[in-house]
Amino acid sequence: MSGPVHGTWEPRPAARWEDAFLSGNGRHGAMVFGDPDDERVVVNHHALVRPVEDTAPPRLAAELPGLQDRLLAGDSEAAERFTDGRELRWVGAFHPAFQVRVRRDGPGTGGCRRSVEFATGVVRSVRTGRTSEVFVSRADDVIVQYVGGGPVTATVTLDPRLPGAPGALAVGRGTVLSSDGALLTLRARYPGSDLSYTGVTRAVVAGGRTSVGPGGIEVEGAEGLLLLTRVRRHTGDLDVPAEAASLRALTAGAEAPLDAYARLLARHERLHRTAYERVVLDLGGSPADRALPGGELLSKATSPALVERLFAAGRYHLLSASGMLPPRLVGLWTGDWNTAWSGAFTTNANLNLQVASAAAAALPEVTEAHSALVYGQLADWRDNARVIFGARGVVAPSHTDGVSGHTYHFQRAYPLHLWTAGAGWLLHPLLEAAGTTGVTDARLTDALAEVALFYEDFLTRTGPDGRLVIVPSYSPENRPVGGSWGALNATMDIAAARHALTTAADHHPAHASRLRALAGRLPGYRINEDGALAEWAWPGLGDRYVHRHLSHLYPVWPLGEINPYDTPGLARAAHRALELRGAENDSAHGHLHHALVAARLRDGERAAAALGRVLGGDFFHVSLMSAHYPGRDVYNADAAHALPALLVEMLVQSTPDRLVLLPALPAAHRAGELRGIRTGFGAEVDLVWGEGTCTATIRPSRTARIDLRRPDGAEALTLVGGEERVLRFSVR
């Protein structure tokens, strides 16, 4: 093999849904078990969320001044009483729709091999004489499955009996035969709701005989079988004839199911492959390791081939989960109705970690999906600001199901409704993407103005030093020693307010003076008695170091406000805070967040050690989707999707006026290639390093003057749009 493997394989079908291979187009998702004798494809869709009746945020604005008075007077427990008395309300739970099951007659012969090809999104299952191929079309928004290999005699059903499915789920089925196959429908109505979802599968059969069977159809002696599946969430009745006509149009003019399959795949592949192949990482993995099935390779935690494959899989899964919305905690996939934390979007850490590679690793499709969530919820964010804080502008929730952007999921120990940094934090990936393209969406400019507007109304209290006090203030999901969950001057809140005001000033010159003046009144960061950047910049609030979140290091990553070049003293304090931070419960997102901050601080060995704890902690299923905890405990996409961002950060970092090459290269990766990285000043960068030297090829799309940092020194560099620049330098 001449390069990294862009796929993975296993010698046996999946026994658990967590090990199923994945395909998706950002709307529909498919989980493929990979048994050609009894193939199961679990159907997912971003819209499949259990309905929630009351999503109103708590009406607390009238009580806010009193809370601020009590907190400033030293009543550290005051925030625990800042509630409307509600019980904890979870956001709507993401769930699977049903499984498409194709059971062939009698057992096949020989062994089974299943694989997924990252560049096409095709999941293949092969046993002697029997095949099944599945992909989710990015061009036509449909799950496509082709069953072939010898005469096909099989039953096809749509089966809603998945783990955790409500007993009161009202299910109805229908089957209508046609001259070339059949139409199968399954409608499920949520208990106590007028909301339903309906799955429609068109079966195109060549030759043989097709008849109605229990729960579906029976096919006998067919030359081939093509299944096209969609699912819709709706109120009232779905227009099934219109869906059927749409599916029929996809195969119009095809002479046989296999011809239709090939045509659909070609349409999809043009979009998917183009996106996937923009960035490639090669760490020189051994041919023997590259040839291993994923399950075996996962046991070789120090193998460069493992890092290569997880980087490739992370890009593939991130792209496949992003479209209608960005990836959930579970990406776009679950086989169980009882998904941990509702399978929703946790926005105070997890979502931003998952989409962190979108701008630099050239996945604008992910950025568009993220923007769909953000801009689609701005009206609800305005409600949060008005109803909870009595302010104009916007406040984002810490937890959302993608349907409602209201803040209604909180409790005493996690007063998520007090978190005010979320809007700026969620807009930051869109700012990074704008830097790579040089084009700023007008919606982004307007949203930045609304974040600043909130702070203009909210920042009204001052401390003894005359500086503004952020009160109440919350550092997700931690609490200080000597204080309670709702506190004052959380470092993340200070950083978020300063960044929001100054960024809005950059984009709105008419208001720049006022906004910068307000930012100038914010408190500075505090360095505690341990020499570490403190998590709260308020006297008497001590640091609780053993925690999975690193919210106070937001000014380091992703903001870059604190960095080794411009603020070396604060960078040293931030590094000390990182040294003192414990892993708490070994959450994957905590380890990778730690590594991302370490990379920004140019500590490659610390970043590699944090990555090593994930690689060696049994965090990955054989599907190469990850878990939240070691031992593959709780299906969760954080590690899978954040890992590519970490590898990029270790090798290339950029801002609109700076490029850092090999900032955190660990000893374990002394040679390799990274191609296709985008920068904040509008250039594409390729790196090739090894034997103590590195060649960087920079292709700027626009003229820029930047501060270049590399292992052997620094220099000012002028780049001219359209003119390639090749740099060669030594690597210590």
Averaged pLDDT for residues 670-678: 97
The distance of Cα 617 from the centroid of its chain, to the nearest Å, equals 21
Residue 403: the pLDDT is: 97
Digit-coded pLDDT (tens) for 304-335: 999 999 999 999 999 999 999 999 999 999 99
**Res. 65: pLDDT tops 60:** yes
Q: How confident is the model at residue 215 (pLDDT cuts 50, 70, 90)?
A: confident
pTM more than 0.95:
yes
Residue 103: the pLDDT is: 96
**Angle CA(461)–CA(505)–CA(600) in degrees, nearest 5?**
90
Residue 255: the pLDDT is: 85
- Name, in order, each residue with C-beta under 8 angstroms of 144's C-beta and a sequence gap of 6 or more: 134, 135, 136, 137, 226, 227, 228, 261, 264, 265, 268
H/E run at residue 451: helix 442-458
- Name, in order, each residue with C-beta under 8 angstroms of 580's C-beta and a sequence gap of 6 or more: 530, 532, 543, 545
Digit-coded pLDDT (tens) for 693-723: 999 999 999 999 999 999 999 999 999 999 9
Residue 461: the pLDDT is: 98
Q: How confident is the model at residue 417 (pLDDT cuts 50, 70, 90)?
A: very high
Question: What's the rounded Cα separation, in Å, for the pair 392 and 115?
Answer: 52
Q: How confident is the model at residue 184 (pLDDT cuts 50, 70, 90)?
A: very high
Q: What percentage of the chain has pLDDT greater than the value 70?
A: 100
Averaged pLDDT for residues 273-278: 98
Residue 1: the pLDDT is: 43
Strand ranges (DSSP E) for 214-340? 216-222, 224-235, 280-282
Q: What percentage of the chain has pLDDT greater than the value 90?
A: 96
Q: How confident is the model at residue 109 (pLDDT cuts 50, 70, 90)?
A: confident
Averaged pLDDT for residues 383-396: 98
Q: Which residues pair with 725 in a beta bridge?
A: 698
Q: How confident is the model at residue 599 (pLDDT cuts 50, 70, 90)?
A: very high
Q: Which two tokens stand for residue 432?
A: 């990074």
Question: What's the rounded Cα separation, in Å, for the pair 156 and 173?
Answer: 13
In contact, 367 and 433? CB cutoff 8 Å? yes
What is the CB neighbour count within 10 angstroms for residue 21?
29
Residue 110: the pLDDT is: 81
Residue 507: the pLDDT is: 94
**Res. 21: pLDDT tops 80:** yes
**Res. 525: pLDDT tops 80:** yes
**Angle CA(649)–CA(654)–CA(658) in degrees, nearest 5?**
140
Residue 732: the pLDDT is: 73
Average pLDDT over the chain, rounded to an integer = 97
Question: What's the rounded Cα separation, in Å, for the pair 555 and 536?
Answer: 13
- Name, in order, each residue with C-beta under 8 angstroms of 731's C-beta and a sequence gap of 6 or more: 662, 665, 689, 692, 693, 694, 711, 712
Question: What's the rounded Cα separation, in Å, for the pair 661 and 604?
Answer: 12
Averaged pLDDT for residues 136-151: 96
Q: Which two tokens stand for residue 273?
A: 């492959």
The distance of Cα 623 from the centroid of its chain, to the nearest Å, equals 17
- Tokens 């626009």 locate to 702
In contact, 189 and 195? CB cutoff 8 Å? yes
Q: How confident is the model at residue 377 (pLDDT cuts 50, 70, 90)?
A: very high
Question: What's the rounded Cα separation, in Å, for the pair 584 and 562?
Answer: 25
**Res. 592: pLDDT tops 80:** yes
Instruction: Give the type of residue at 727.
Output: L
Instruction: Give the type of residue at 340.
Output: A
Map residue 2 onto helix, strand or coil. Answer: coil
In contact, 664 and 646? CB cutoff 8 Å? no
**Res. 279: pLDDT tops 70:** yes
Residue 129: the pLDDT is: 83
Q: How confident is the model at residue 489 (pLDDT cuts 50, 70, 90)?
A: very high
Residue 706: the pLDDT is: 98
Residue 106: the pLDDT is: 83
Question: What's the rounded Cα separation, in Å, for the pair 468 and 178?
Answer: 71
Averaged pLDDT for residues 153-171: 96
Strand ranges (DSSP E) for 631-702? 633-635, 652-655, 658-661, 672-678, 683-690, 693-700
Averaged pLDDT for residues 581-607: 97
Question: What's the rounded Cα separation, in Å, for the pair 351 and 345?
Answer: 6
Averaged pLDDT for residues 597-605: 98
Question: What's the rounded Cα separation, in Å, for the pair 330 and 268?
Answer: 24
Question: What's the rounded Cα separation, in Å, for the pair 294 and 6?
Answer: 12
